[in-house]
């Protein structure tokens, strides 16, 4: 059993293959956290928590004389405000009498096989063979408020999930002003924090920083997980690198406004509290009602950042993504956006499809502009009817002709938004989130629909279901192109407006649950102005998410690098786009653009008519390579071989689970003269095995480039490739690249 209760010591220990998590029920029935780290026996670690009397740290009433136990310095399993713990709280509640704070005491626990489920929220799946559940109930005697702490223990995966249900067991109303998913206290260690900041078209830039005494917060109040601060934080020791060092990840499974607080306390301990952002949030619980906080994924390793990443990659593929497409080869697509923008008709689309089919592309995606009076981005969102002026003969006629070319057909939508200039808004202005008496703040000249309303969700479900039922559409790109402001729901009373933001997110999840269950054969791709909602919550419904609106291959290197710390390659929408790039104006060789996009779902976003015959031949070869290496690229173990800015190249590697195959990809970001080339040391191979260099693809190189490697002939030991390394050829030109494929012999 992965969950062990010791009635003598009153400890509960969660054991995974390589980690241990332990808590203790103290004599006062306060649930105290004891340990999370490398696997140890289940014996109590209470000796690590000595009895101390620290000045100005108040004590529970029962210990007012002994003064050797204070919540302010003890590690907690779930922290509450106004009860003597002055560090950041997970729970901040106010009852009908105006009393703040809850003195949470242990009231019982249960251990069950299988995985708990969360009402209305995405969470990891798991059966009795893969997961066990611990439920611990805490109760405040004065208010009757109960908190059920939920732990999902995935022993083989080395992942522990956490969530919380908060129930009003009293006789009067309670208002939650913060209801986080978890508290995690790490009383020992010298930690640094890694987080992933950014902006539109430059998401998930990795930043590593020292912790300071006090509070550091990573979060979003934009109504979405955001381009700006991804909901994923890593604590690591100062010496941690890719292959060694203690690392601890916290990843909320949530797509709305979020916050993770990291606080260093007076004794140097570190507290992490993560969950829904408390900004503009409150939630009213009438007697008997329950609020469910989102899930968070915890993982720990002593083997470095690379091992932590691969742990999350495997877990997300196996237990978060529910789509059948998670296990199927996904089609290579072409999207018309950068080829045509809004300026297209059926003939233009069919010409793109004809040339794309000739190159080996398998799916045409029709992007923005196909519906209503949508000639630019100022109108028609919400009017999901075909624009007959652009698509003469209608959608079915276009799809039939695309299918006849051997291509599948996909379409873009932005269901959560509405334009003021639309039939939908004119009919239902109350469906938009706007504050009464105030002109709304506009983003992209559009408004946000109130997804907390059942009538809005019903309209969208009926509209989208009819579109998918009546037309042979096999792919949907679901976009969301603005941050949320003016959050006010006309179906909620004034005292409950703090619920509107979270109810919006619950509504989105409910709609996605219905649609993805009703149309499981559709390949759904998420998008939010690119990577503005790239998180584990969305991945429950979308097996892939458009990584960024920045399709410049050089910029994508750092975006993809940062994203790989938590998310698998198979979830990252990535395309070979047109050059000069529409975001940066940069020109990158076609082959290098493909090398970068192959570490994603792979597709094209350009006009094939503008390619030369030689370039079209290149595309055919790129698609053939991608499909030949598909399983390795999408499901292999991922290794970051370089660090952005530290080297003149970016390199990464994918290795098959059985270590029989490896692919190294490299892009030269800064070409210099008179160099011996790039030495790379591979990772993840079998040191006792021998590997043959089967293929070497050089892209974007000038005639000055030199190569001494001999594909099909050169054989190396795994140990030599990992410890001595391999010397890549001298690569010259503007952003040349290489791919090296090795197989065990």
Instruction: Supply the residues annotated as catalytic.
Output: 535, 615
Residues 42/6, Cβ–Cβ less than 8 Å: yes
- Helix H or strand E encompassing 35: strand 31-38
HSE at residue 595, side-chain half, CA atoms within 13 A, is: 29
Q: Which of 595, 515, 506, 586 is nearest to 550 (CA)?
A: 586
DSSP-assigned letters across all residues of 621-678: HHHHHHHHTHHHHHHSEEEE-S-TTTSSEEEEEEE-TTSSEEEEEEEESS--SS----
Residues in CB range of 258: below 8 A, 6 or more apart: 219, 220, 225, 231, 252, 274, 275, 276, 277
Type and span of the H or E element at 655: strand 649-655
Residues belonging to the chain: 745
> DSSP 3-state assignment of 613?
helix
For 542, residues 6+ apart whose C-beta sits below 8 A from its C-beta are 323, 478, 524, 525, 526
Separation in Å, CA 407 to CA 137, 353, 542:
54, 7, 22
Name the residue with tokens 């956290």: 33
Q: How far apart are CA 434 and CA 422, in angstroms?
A: 16
Give 429's DSSP letter. Answer: G
Residue pair 607/352 in contact by the 8 Å Cβ criterion: yes
Question: Roughly how many angstroms between the first and final C-alpha of the chain, as a whole number?
Answer: 40
Give the Cα separation of 252 and 295 in Å (integer). Answer: 6
DSSP string, 546-584: E--S---HHHHHHHHHHHTTTS-GGGEE--EE-SS-TTT
Q: Distances from the Cα of 363 to the Cαs of 114, 346, 406, 550, in angstroms?
A: 38, 16, 9, 21
Cis, bond preceding 580 (omega within 30 deg of 0): yes
Work out whether the CA dihedral 214, 219, 223, 228 comes out positive or negative.
positive
Sign of CA dihedral 373, 377, 380, 386: positive
Q: Strands 247-252 and 649-655: what pairing?
A: unpaired
The answer to whether 263 and 271 are in contact (CB under 8 A) is: yes
- The token duo for 708 is 């001494």
Tell me how many degrees the CA angle 217-218-220 measures, rounded to the nearest 5: 120
Output helix, strand, coil percentages for the chain, rounded to the nearest 5: 20, 30, 45
């Amino acid at each position: 059993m992965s969950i062990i209760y010791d009635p003598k010591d009153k400890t509960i220990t969660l054991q995974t293959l390589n980690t241990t998590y332990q808590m203790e029920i103290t004599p006062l029935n306060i649930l105290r956290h004891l340990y999370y780290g490398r696997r140890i026996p289940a014996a109590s670690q209470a000796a690590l928590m000595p009895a101390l009397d620290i000045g100005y740290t108040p004590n529970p009433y029962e210990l007012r004389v002994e003064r050797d136990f204070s919540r302010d310095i003890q590690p907690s399993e779930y922290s509450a405000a106004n009860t003597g713990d002055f560090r950041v709280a997970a729970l901040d509640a106010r009852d009908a009498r105006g009393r703040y704070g809850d003195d949470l005491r242990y009231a019982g626990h249960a251990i069950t096989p299988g995985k708990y489920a969360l009402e209305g929220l995405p969470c990891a799946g798991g059966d009795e063979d893969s997961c066990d559940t611990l439920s611990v109930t805490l109760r405040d005697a004065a208010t009757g408020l109960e908190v059920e702490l939920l732990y999902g223990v995935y022993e083989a995966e080395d992942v522990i999930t956490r969530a919380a249900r908060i129930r009003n067991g009293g006789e009067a109303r309670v208002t939650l002003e913060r209801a986080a998913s978890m508290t995690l206290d790490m009383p020992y260690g010298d930690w640094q924090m890694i987080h992933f900041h950014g902006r539109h078209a430059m998401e998930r830039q990795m930043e590593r920083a020292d912790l300071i005494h006090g509070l550091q917060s990573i979060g979003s109040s934009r109504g979405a997980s955001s381009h700006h601060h991804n909901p994923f934080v890593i604590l690591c020791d100062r010496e941690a690198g890719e292959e060694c060092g203690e690392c601890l990840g916290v990843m909320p499974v949530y797509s709305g406004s979020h916050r993770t607080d990291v606080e260093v306390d007076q004794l140097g301990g570190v507290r992490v509290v993560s969950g829904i952002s408390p900004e503009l949030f409150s939630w009213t619980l009438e007697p008997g009602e329950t609020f469910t906080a989102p899930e968070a994924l915890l993982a720990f390793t002593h083997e470095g950042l690379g091992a932590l990443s691969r742990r999350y990659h495997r877990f997300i593929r196996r237990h978060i993504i529910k789509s059948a497409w998670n296990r199927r080869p996904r089609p290579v697509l072409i999207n018309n956006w950068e080829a045509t923008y809004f300026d297209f008709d059926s003939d233009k689309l069919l010409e793109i499809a004809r040339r794309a089919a000739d190159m080996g592309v398998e799916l045409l995606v029709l992007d923005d502009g196909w519906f209503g009076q949508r000639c630019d981005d100022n109108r028609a969102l919400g009017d999901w009817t075909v624009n007959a002026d652009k698509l003469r003969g209608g959608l079915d006629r276009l799809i039939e002709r695309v299918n006849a070319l051997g291509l599948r057909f996909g379409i873009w939508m932005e269901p959560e938004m509405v334009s003021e200039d639309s039939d939908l808004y004119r009919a239902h202005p109350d469906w938009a989130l706007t504050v009464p008496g105030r002109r709304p703040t506009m983003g992209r000249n559009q408004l946000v629909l109130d997804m907390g309303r059942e009538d809005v969700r019903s309209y969208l479900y009926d509209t989208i279901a009819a579109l998918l039922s009546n037309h042979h559409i096999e792919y949907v790109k679901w976009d969301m192109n603005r941050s949320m402001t003016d959050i006010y729901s006309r179906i909620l009373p004034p005292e409950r407006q703090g619920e509107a933001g979270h109810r919006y997110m619950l509504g989105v999840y409910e709609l996605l649950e219905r649609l993805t269950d009703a149309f499981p054969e559709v390949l759904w791709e998420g998008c939010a102005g690119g990577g503005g909602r790239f998180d584990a919550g969305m991945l429950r419904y979308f097996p892939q998410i458009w990584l960024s609106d920045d399709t410049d291959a050089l910029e994508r290197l750092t975006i993809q690098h940062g994203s790989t710390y938590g998310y698998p390659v198979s979830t990252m929408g990535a395309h070979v786009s047109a050059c000069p790039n529409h975001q940066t104006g940069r020109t990158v060789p076609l082959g290098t653009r493909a090398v970068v996009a192959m570490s994603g779902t792979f597709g094209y976003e350009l006009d094939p008519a503008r390619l030369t015959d030689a370039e079209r031949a290149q595309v055919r070869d790129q698609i053939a390579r991608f499909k030949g290496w598909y399983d390795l690229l999408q499901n292999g173990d991922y290794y970051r071989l370089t660090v952005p800015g530290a080297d003149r190249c970016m390199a990464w590697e994918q290795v098959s689970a059985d270590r029989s195959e490896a692919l190294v990809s490299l892009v030269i970001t800064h070409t210099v003269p008179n160099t011996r080339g790039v030495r790379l040391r591979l990772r993840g191979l079998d040191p006792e095995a021998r590997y043959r260099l089967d293929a070497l693809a050089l892209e974007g190189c000038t005639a000055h480039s030199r190569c001494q490697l001999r594909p099909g002939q050169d054989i190396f030991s795994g140990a030599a490739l990992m410890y001595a390394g391999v010397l890549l050829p001298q690569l010259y030109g503007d952003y040349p690249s290489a791919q090296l494929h090795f197989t065990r012999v």
